[in-house]
Amino acid sequence: MALWLVVLLIAGGKAQSRAGDWPMWRYDAGRGAWSPDALPEKMQLQWVRDLPQAMPAWPETQPKLQFDAVAQPVVMGQRIFVPSSRNDSVTAYSTRDGKELWRFYSNGPVRFAPVAYKGKVFFVSDDGFLYALNEENGKQLWKVKGGPDQRRLILGNHRLISSWPARGGVVLHQDKLYFGASIWPFMGIFIRAVDPEDGKVVWTNSGDGSNYINQPHGGAVAFSGLVPQGHLAASGGKLVVPGGRSIPGVYDAGSGKQLNFAFAEGKKEGGSQVGAVGELLFTEARAFTMKNGLAIGGGAPAVFNDKRMLAADPNSMLTRSAAVEIVAEKKKDFRGREVVVLTPKYKKVEQNKLAKAITGRWMMGAGDRFYTGGVKVVSAYESGKSEPVWSGKIEGEAQSLLAADGRLFVVTDEGKLYCFGEGDPAGGAAKRIPLLKKNITKKTQGDWSGKVTEILKHQGAGEGYALVLGIGSGQMIDELLNRSQLNVMVLEPDAGKVLAFRRKMQAARWYGSRVAVIEGDIFQGGLPTYLCNLIASENNKLVELLAQKRTRLAQVFQALRPYGGLLCLPVSEDGHKTLTRMVSSGDKFANVEIKRSGKLSFLVRAGALPDSDNWTHQYGNVEQTLVSRDKRVKAPFGVLWFGGASHAGILPRHGHGPSPQVAGGRLIIEGPNLLRATDVYSGRVMWEREIPGFGEYFDRTDHFAGAGETGSNYVSMPDRIYAMKGNVILELNAVDGKLIKNFQLAADNKEKKPAGESPDWGSIRVSGDYLIATAMPLALEGDDKKRTGSLKTGQGSGSRLLVVYDRHSGRMLWKRQAQFNFRHNNIAVAGDRVFCIDRLTEQKETSLARRGMKFTGKPVLYALDLESGEVIWERKKDVFGTFLNYSSQHGLLLQAGSAFRDRAVDESGKGMMVLRGKDGKVLWFDADIEYNGPCLLWRDKILTNGTGGFAVELLSGRKTGWKYARTYGCNTAIGSENLLTFRSGAAGFFDLAGDSGTGNFGGFKSSCTANLIVADGIL
């Protein structure tokens, strides 16, 4: 029964523009894509121009975030203004012949359509600024920073950009410009209103970016907020801000006050493309009320204005009145709960059945015609006609259409800009304007040819990221581009040199992909941290400045990548001596090595960062503490880099595949058929090795115990990666992923394998020179098939055989047969011994008994000599655990369990015992304590997992009173000496530096996080 009827009278304000202009993305502030100005009935192709291929921020696997998949132009008068995410520019072309009129470069990719208004062109950039240019000549009039005043550069989407990039595309409404900056709630979100005349900020909303609100994943609560990603929209004094995949937020355009943001309503109906008219707002999938953000039944219109809406129907041209009647009814949802459902009642104006379904999409309205864009064709339709009244041929697929200056402009997925207009084109044939012919710069014959040879002799200096301080003659840059795989970033204060260099690199087709330049002074602060494989300069004056002041040199040195980052300076012998004195003391130059070769001095950032640690195993280390020993990572946080390799080809998170691992500056991550090494300091893929079938067991999207039950199938060390596949352990070179050797057991027919076939491996660990593995896994089908292995997979929670090798020579040192089963989570290694439990849980023993397998004897907890396998001590009483971890700091072994959501169904969640590692003496045993696991060993405390998690004194077994009631931990938790981080639907951290209290919860990531790793000095 209807509760009320509301009639929404739609009245959208239009920006002032010339007749025939297309001043904004999708025409107006509402983003309706409908111009009142009709196009000619018949049009011919006038010209087509190749554009630089776009470099989108998000991969194609994220369809709701393709806001910059192609350039989105606007038109004012006889100029079309085209942004470029590759060339960091906005370019004006003539609408009549496609000729370039001017080009303006910013200091970062330009991902969104500009706004053209009253002789000015406005646009935002990843450099964090809103720019205003003169329409006629492209000269800068003013610019406004979107974020705070600090200047800090980071690596974002493979480019050096602002820490607060402007990813909220500018919109003009009621004579004000609106845009958004920053994409990280914990670093602040900024939405600004600006006067288009002089660039003065009218208001700023910087307080709603990190509110304590419900999250879309499971209703968890965290500090987060709306992140502007997409073109902003506006209607009737309200501003609509898209939040990427989330439902958009609504703000008061006059004051900046946030009116509503229904973040917890989910992400399925969100998206970066939004529209607004009257009291309705739209995403691509859904309509919502502007007043409270409530979803309305039915879909969003494809094209609309303040009078009519065109439905996104491929089989008909269905237009409805924009006057909408909303009916609210009480209904039962799928769980039987009573909910209010809002349904729109549109007045149908007209429906034309089409003779043939359109193959593309309804994309634009102009006058009384609607236009579609598809593969190789764009078409126009009129009311009352079932066939297109006009069609034009294109190459590729249309992605954007706009009508202006009596012409139709089309942007395709192939990066071409088409112009259709009335009459025959000038000269009788359409003008085709290609990009400049690729003109690769020649290798130089000057002094820098030999110097670059010296540079590239250093391991790792020829790949990754190079920072060049000053353009200089350009010879060094040319040599690096021609003779290495480096991505070159250039800092240069001289505007004239910057412009010339950009044009040169654009002609070479290198700009935006291999090289980019930022206009600025390096000594103004803000160099990226840990990023650069190489920093170099041929600017002698700048080099002298570095050599004169230790703080300047330290600033540059901090930008070097650990594990071999190289700073190259062309200084004299006296200058080299000065450098040696400057770096000889102090923590600013920790692990520095200084060398001299010819006329060059080299500073090398050797090895790992001081007080950092690796994350080599499933549970952090071979002791299974789940706690990193890294002492560098502390709150507050800042973004180091983002937007590395696409996650395509990597395991889905719900399958609970092995945790990513970090060693030697490499993040090792698994896919169904591969291992990938990524640079932890830049996100760059260092190598990828195909291993058919590797990780297939974890390739599933339902909630599944995965590696939480079976253990990891690989281990990462700074020098080697060990990957377990079937009956082979592959030893890979950590530098390049190449195979060094295999480990394989001798064939044993007792293992019920075909004759001549060796048994499968079960789990793997590395400690020092030793490789510890289990073989002959017991693959059992449990009561809950979702959370245990099956007999068909060869996977299992435990194995019958324990084997130790010298990992360098490949020689087997010893092996031990289990009486029952060595559970993989029950193996911890510390110092000279292996701790393990030979036991079957009651559930597994019952399951095996049904298969006719009987076991006798008692479970045993062993301490075995790592080198010989001899028993150091053993315990047969009160052996109950399903998880062992060891505190090397205190020399204590914890026998416990790790029962929790998505863990194995036979995991224990009751009882804790702490024993001395040297002799097995029990310090304390609490058989009745109940908890979620796995437990973390943090200093002198045992930390349990999950909602309501608590701490226990490691030495006494007393509960400390600490509670983590606001966390919602999953099956792994990761921490450091200073920080405990939880994986959860609302990821955050607890500051545990104090000795008592509940700790301070601080959110830094919304939605669900798959893994958090503390290693190599970063999170």
Query: Could you write out the DSSP letters of every residue in 429-493?
Result: S-EEEPPPPP-PPPPP-SHHHHHHHHHHTSTTTTSSEEEEES-TTSHHHHHHHHHS-PEEEEEE-
Give the pLDDT score at 1009. Answer: 55
CA distance 117 to 173: 11
Contact criterion met (CB below 8 Å) for 468 and 488:
yes
The single-letter code of the amino acid at 357 is A
Q: Which residue has the tokens 């400057």?
A: 582
**Statement: residue 969 has pLDDT above 60:** no
Which is more confident, 884 or 513?
884
pLDDT tens digit sequence for 602-641: 999 999 999 999 999 999 999 999 989 888 887 777 889 9
Give the pLDDT score at 997. Answer: 34
What does DSSP assign to residue 1018? B
Q: Mean pLDDT in the chain? A: 87
Contact criterion met (CB below 8 Å) for 972 and 626:
yes
Q: What is the mean pLDDT of residues 429-446?
A: 74
pLDDT tens digit sequence for 735-790: 999 999 999 998 764 544 554 578 999 999 999 999 999 999 986 554 344 444 43
Give the pLDDT score at 748. Answer: 60
Calculate the alpha carbon distances from 553 to 461, 530, 681, 915 in Å.
19, 14, 20, 51
Q: What is the mean pLDDT of residues 183-200?
A: 94
pLDDT tens digit sequence for 257-277: 999 998 767 567 888 999 999
Report residue 786: phi and psi, to 5°.
-70, -25
**Statement: residue 988 has pLDDT above 60:** no
**Statement: residue 253 has pLDDT above 60:** yes
Contact criterion met (CB below 8 Å) for 225 and 211:
yes
Give the pLDDT score at 970. Answer: 43
Identify the sign of the CA torsion 900, 902, 906, 907: negative
Angle in degrees, 0-180, between the axes of helices 573-582 and 540-548, rounded to the nearest 10 = 40
- Strand extents, DSSP E, 866-905: 871-875, 883-887, 892-896
Give the pLDDT score at 413. Answer: 96
Give the pLDDT score at 140. Answer: 98
Q: What is the mean pLDDT of residues 279-301?
A: 85
Peptide bond just before 934 cis, omega within 30 deg = yes
CA 760 to chain centre: 35
Q: Which residue has the tokens 């691509």?
A: 284
Which is more confident, 509 or 961?
509
Give the pLDDT score at 979. Answer: 65
CA distance 192 to 167: 12
Give the pLDDT score at 999. Answer: 41
Token representation of residue 887? 């505190």
pLDDT tens digit sequence for 553-596: 888 999 999 999 999 998 888 888 888 988 887 778 999 999 99
CA 138 to chain centre: 34
| Helix, strand or coil, per DSSP, at residue 946 | coil
- Strand extents, DSSP E, 42-114: 44-50, 74-76, 79-84, 89-94, 100-105
Residue (of 741, 737, 701, 743) closest to 721 by Cα position: 737
Q: Which residue has the tokens 């849980």?
A: 841
CB hemisphere CA count around 970 (13 angstroms): 25
CA distance 233 to 275: 6
CB hemisphere CA count around 1013 (13 angstroms): 26
Calculate the alpha carbon distances from 617 to 83, 228, 626, 1011 in Å.
46, 37, 9, 13
**Statement: residue 977 has pLDDT above 70:** no
Give the pLDDT score at 239. Answer: 98
Residue (of 797, 725, 715) closest to 758 by Cα position: 725
CA distance 898 to 883: 6
The single-letter code of the amino acid at 834 is V
What does DSSP assign to residue 57? S
Calculate the alpha carbon distances from 906 to 239, 837, 845 in Å.
53, 15, 11
Q: What is the mean pLDDT of residues 997-1019?
A: 60
Give the pLDDT score at 787. Answer: 40
| Helix, strand or coil, per DSSP, at residue 427 | helix
* Helix extents (H) in 773-865: 842-850
CA distance 762 to 752: 16
Report residue 575: phi and psi, to 5°.
-65, -35
**Statement: residue 692 has pLDDT above 50:** yes
Angle in degrees, 0-180, between the axes of helices 550-557 and 573-582, rounded to the nearest 10 = 80
Q: Percent of the chain, pLDDT > 70?
A: 88
Give the pLDDT score at 791. Answer: 35
pLDDT tens digit sequence for 786-827: 444 433 345 789 999 999 999 999 999 999 999 999 999 999
pLDDT tens digit sequence for 41-75: 999 999 999 999 999 999 988 888 999 999 999 99
CA distance 939 to 627: 9
Q: Which residues does 496 contact at the CB level (< 8 Å), separation at least 6?
A: none
- Name the strands in the sheet holding 100-105, side by side, starting at the edge strand that comes first in the sequence: 74-76, 79-84, 89-94, 100-105
Q: Which of 16-25, 521-530, 997-1006 has the lowest mean pLDDT?
A: 997-1006
CA distance 535 to 805: 42
Which neighbouring-strand residues pair with 140? 133
Contact criterion met (CB below 8 Å) for 13 and 235:
yes
**Statement: residue 899 has pLDDT above 80:** yes
Contact criterion met (CB below 8 Å) for 776 and 815:
no
How confident is residue 444, by pLDDT bands cut at 50, 70 and 90? low
pLDDT tens digit sequence for 77-120: 999 999 999 999 999 999 999 999 999 999 999 999 999 999 99
Q: How many helices (H) and strands (E) does the chain have?
A: 8, 74
CA distance 588 to 416: 50
Which is more confident, 521 or 719?
719
CB hemisphere CA count around 875 (13 angstroms): 22
pTM for this prediction: 0.91
The single-letter code of the amino acid at 783 is D
Report residue 154: phi and psi, to 5°.
-135, 165
Token representation of residue 518? 């930022």
Q: How many CB atoms lie within 10 A of CB 16?
A: 11
How confident is residue 1010, by pLDDT bands cut at 50, 70 and 90? low
Q: How many CB atoms lie within 10 A of CB 809?
A: 10
pLDDT tens digit sequence for 818-874: 999 999 999 999 999 999 999 999 888 887 777 777 778 899 999 999 999 999 999
CA distance 685 to 1012: 19
Report residue 308: phi and psi, to 5°.
-135, 160
Q: DSSP 3-state helix, strand, coil percentages of the chain (rounded to 5)?
A: 10, 45, 45
What does DSSP assign to residue 555? H
